[in-house]
Chain A
């Protein structure tokens, strides 16, 4: 059974940093691209970032480019999202998600339950 378990969310002040982690199990982690998607309170889904299976293809939403960094540690089956210079508008549930194939140009077929990030003073 595929499991994606996010951690690292919490309350942080504007301008602060957080690192989200996503531990994957039940899959051959190295085979799949991985994605972060967020949902702000009362809003729709927003695509945040993707990393290909080999880590060579990475992209970000314009809203987080230059502030967020996606990475993966295949030895630990773990996906990360380093979030710096956080703003109030980054407040959201952050979902870790698995793509259907190794290429980042694919849909998302499994989602974690999400971790809440709140940016507030």
Chain B
């Protein structure tokens, strides 16, 4: 199975500053064509269902603020939240959908400093 790891486990960032979350997969998530990375990022707030932020490593979902951006390729990926807002407090997960069984990372908790 593909193992997804995230770092850090949690981080506290001042309002308006940048938060960077790392996700590493145990196998490459890059398609054989070299075009697509099969990874998504989700935001999960308590009492709510998760929400997709990014698919295909860097494609922002419609309606997601442009302060959220995804990057990386192969086995190393990042989710960056620039200009952190109070409403961004949540747990963030990466997920690979390259190979069965699909797997989530353990999550990164983002708080306000």
Contact = CB atoms under 8 A, between A and B. Distances in A.
Instruction: Name which of A44, A60, A113 has the most chain B CB atoms within 10 A of its CB.
Output: A44
B44 A59 contact: no
Contacts of B38: 105
Instruction: Name which of B100, B105, B107 has the most chain A CB atoms within 10 A of its CB.
Output: B100
B50 A47 contact: no
Contacts of A104: 97
- If over half of B's interface residues share one DSSP class (helix, strand or loop), that class is named, otherwise mixed; here it is loop
Interface string B23-65: 0000000000000001010101000111110011000010000
A45 B50 contact: yes
B103 interface: yes
Chain A, interface size category, equals 20 to 34
A35 to B, nearest CB: 8
Nearest to A96: B49
Given A95-B50, A107-B52, A108-B40, A44 B101 contact: no
Q: Which 4 A-B pairs have the closest CB atoms?
A: A107-B40, A111-B49, A107-B55, A59-B100
